[in-house]
Chain A
Amino acid sequence: MTIHPMQLVTIIGESLAREPILKLLREVGAHGWTFFEVSGSGRQGERTGEIPEYSNIQVEVIVPPAVAENLLNRLQHDFFPRFAMVAYLCEIRVLRAHKF
């Protein structure tokens, strides 16, 4: 069994940013991702999660380092000024590197 280094980018932001995030993921060349409906609280107030206007989504996407860097750059320039959002990166290891 061989395991390969890869990066996990997690984005947590308002639900109404779902479509723009999806578009961005396709543009930077991510091959797969997972969306979660979540609730929580942050600097821009409480996200109670009861209706889409007031809920958050969490997106997890596993990508190679170059894609991860591009993704975070795009988030910083185009998304952070306009949407309530955080994003972070973790080093992870995966099987089947070609999937990502």
Chain B
Amino acid sequence: MNHDLLQAIQANVLSPALLFFVLGLLAAVLRSDLRFPEPLYVALTIYLLVAIGLKGGVAIAEAGWARVGLPTLAALLLGTVIPLWAYPILRFLGRFSAVDAAAIAAHYGSVSAVTFGAATQYLDRLGESYEAYASAFLAVMESPAILIGVLLGKLAARGSDTIRWSSISTALREAVLGRSVFLLVGALGIGALSGRAGMDQVGPFFTAPFQGVLALFLLEMGMVAGRRLGDLRKVGGFLVGFGMVMPVLHGALGVGVGDWCGLTVGGTTLMGVLAASASYIAAPAAIRLSLPDANPTYYLTAALVITFPFNIALGVPLYYELARRLVH
């Protein structure tokens, strides 16, 4: 392995965030009685989404829409097209049913805010600056893939019976008004409207504790993933490979797009991370309601137990290293 990449990975391995994730995994595997109540999980996600959104909103106000527009549009396109090739790969190489392939494709086109948060933490640790308005890319990449995935699933299932709530409008509602997208876009808007002066008022609450909250959240995600390790056997080798190969391909694509948009090394890394990440908050809720015939074990295991740990451990440093070479 290349020396620089090894160093980039080493810089990540000893970060509190990743170590807490591993601690969570251990807690689950060793059957510790450690357990977070669901309301705490929900509270931590609300905090993280609002903190990420506010920071990005303030950055938009400072950078101006003109600079944010092009990369945000590129991010939106990236989120829209990823399911279009993920679907045939799953359907014809992975031999998944049409509705399962569509559901998994939706998760990989959509994004993970916590992976994004972990990546910003990684860049901070290295002292690498990045466009803080990248939160806007995160916000626009959550929904499109979910809609594309639901459309693919519906087109494939055309002719069979349809149930009342499984309509495109449900998907649209869930994808756009689901709690994660709603909060993120809302906080972005508040940050953009109130600007730096507003951020100075609420900033201390949303910036200083961010790293600590992220560490707690990753401890919880480690436990969630650890309890589901047994599902890896149920989903088969193809999906395990898919969950690690696709992020690398999408990460490289995202890095290319970020560079093309003229972003810095940090911003390009974040674009790569977003393209590589898979959703496990917005997408599962929307897909469960819009494509109820898809098996949740496949998409949840792929997004949460395979791709999420892969990205926070190896993916983030890898996309950073790619970005460093391409942009410099």
Interface residues of A (CB under 8 A from B): 14, 16-17, 19-20, 23, 37, 45-46, 48-55, 78, 82-83
A20 CB contact (under 8 Å) in B37, B165, B280, B285:
B165
Which of chain B's residues have a CB closer than 8 A to the CB of A17? 288
Nearest A residue (CB) for B228:
A54
A48 to B10, CA, bound (A): 34
Known A-B contacts A16-B284, A23-B165, A78-B164; A54 and B224 likewise in contact (beta carbons under 8 Å): yes
A46 to B226, CA, bound (A): 13
Are B38 and A37 closer than 8 Å at their CB atoms? yes
A16 CB contact (under 8 Å) in B164, B228, B289, B293:
B289
Can you identify 15 A-B contacts, CB atoms within 8 angstroms? A16-B285, A17-B288, A19-B289, A45-B297, A50-B35, A50-B41, A50-B220, A52-B42, A53-B285, A54-B228, A78-B163, A78-B164, A82-B163, A82-B292, A82-B293
Are B288 and A55 closer than 8 Å at their CB atoms? no
A17 to B297, CA, bound (A): 16
Are A49 and B38 closer than 8 Å at their CB atoms? yes
Known A-B contacts A37-B38, A78-B164, A82-B163; A52 and B293 likewise in contact (beta carbons under 8 Å): no
A73 to B225, CA, bound (A): 36
Nearest Cβ in chain B — how far from A72, in angstroms?
17
Are A55 and B165 closer than 8 Å at their CB atoms? no
Are A20 and B289 closer than 8 Å at their CB atoms? yes
What is the size, in residues, of chain B's interface with A at 8 Å between Cβ atoms?
A: 25
Known A-B contacts A16-B284, A16-B289; A50 and B224 likewise in contact (beta carbons under 8 Å): yes
Q: B74: CB under 8 A from chain A?
A: no
Known A-B contacts A51-B41, A53-B296; A16 and B288 likewise in contact (beta carbons under 8 Å): yes
Are A53 and B223 closer than 8 Å at their CB atoms? no
Q: B278: CB under 8 A from chain A?
A: no
Considering residues A14, A19, A50, which has the most beta carbons from chain B within 10 angstroms of its beta carbon? A50
Are B292 and A83 closer than 8 Å at their CB atoms? yes
Nearest Cβ in chain A — how far from B230, in angstroms?
9
Which of chain B's residues have a CB closer than 8 A to the CB of A55? 38
Nearest B residue (CB) for A14:
B288
Which of chain A's residues have a CB closer than 8 A to the CB of B38? 37, 49-52, 55
Which of chain B's residues have a CB closer than 8 A to the CB of A45? 297
A17 to B41, CA, bound (A): 19
A53 to B301, CA, bound (A): 11
A49 to B164, CA, bound (A): 28
Which of chain A's residues have a CB closer than 8 A to the CB of B224? 48, 50-51, 54
Q: B196: CB under 8 A from chain A?
A: no
B280 CB contact (under 8 Å) in A46, A53, A82:
A53
A23 to B289, CA, bound (A): 12
Nearest Cβ in chain A — how far from B58, in angstroms?
29
Which of chain B's residues have a CB closer than 8 A to the CB of A50? 35-38, 41, 220, 223-224, 227
Considering residues B224, B228, B288, which has the most beta carbons from chain A within 10 angstroms of its beta carbon? B288
Which of chain B's residues have a CB closer than 8 A to the CB of A16? 284-285, 288-289, 296
A89 to B199, CA, bound (A): 53
Known A-B contacts A20-B289, A37-B38, A83-B292; A53 and B163 likewise in contact (beta carbons under 8 Å): no
A59 to B214, CA, bound (A): 33
8 A Cβ contacts from B11-52 to A: 35-38, 41-42
A90 to B315, CA, bound (A): 53
| Top-7 shortest CB links A-B | A82-B292, A16-B288, A53-B284, A20-B165, A51-B41, A78-B163, A55-B38
Which of chain A's residues have a CB closer than 8 A to the CB of B227? 46, 48, 50
Which of chain B's residues have a CB closer than 8 A to the CB of A49? 38
